[in-house]
Amino acid sequence: MPNTYYNKLLSNNKDWVEKKLGEDKEYFTRLAKLQKPPVLWIGCADSRVPANEITGTSPGEVFVHRNIANMVVHTDMNMLSVLDYAVNHLRVKHVIVCGHYGCGGVQAAMQNKSLGLINKWVRNIKEVYKSNKTELDKINDEQKRFDRLVELNVKQQVYDLAKTSIVQQAWVNNWDLQLHGWVYGLDNGLIKDLKVTMDSAEHLDQMFRLEFD
């Protein structure tokens, strides 16, 4: 059974190539020549949230970085390297942090369970909860509290993006760069814009202007 599924993936790839070439004989030739996406997507590694599919975009339009719970962690050299390349080399216009309701990483941060290595990662989300404890503790419904923490976590990641020297320098250079926070609904397929768009350092309080990478 495992080998059957594995081989099916390769077969699907061949079918997809034939379909694309049938629609446009120059599709792969053209795609191979240039990568100039206008968007960097920082999303969750959850398999149910495919960036291109839910935004109706084609290969080459979205530069993607994914990790558990769509985190922007200042010690994560992988994320910072992707951000650096996207901003300084690809010159993207938009960086979108997209979380999703029902996120397992956020849920793990709300529980006092030993989950191994993931405990170290979700510690950052626990800090988001701690910073918003007064608001969250007033929400009696557990599901609504969970959903709200998903939203607050996305907002915090946008703020943390704005504090990176990479983004700060882009704004100093007057580059057209906007940061956004979205949440995707697994149960309806819709994206919620959290209205936390930032396009300059002026959107940050003075205490948030320190570079940390």
Q: Are 193 and 157 in contact (CB under 8 A)?
A: no
What's the angle, vertex CA 63, arms to CA 118 and CA 165, rounded to 5?
Answer: 75
H or E element that contains 149: helix 142-162
Report the alpha-carbon distance of residue 54 to residue 184 in Å, rounded.
9
H or E element that contains 132: none
Report the alpha-carbon distance of residue 13 to residue 29 in Å, rounded.
17
Report the alpha-carbon distance of residue 108 to residue 144 in Å, rounded.
16
* Dihedral (Cα; 20, 23, 28, 30), 10-degree rounding: -150
Report the alpha-carbon distance of residue 212 to residue 187 in Å, rounded.
36
> Active-site positions?
44, 46, 48, 100, 103
Alpha helices in 24-141 (DSSP H): 27-33, 51-55, 77-88, 104-109, 118-131, 133-137
Q: Which two tokens stand for residue 28?
A: 């792969």
Which residue is associated with the tokens 């992988």? 78
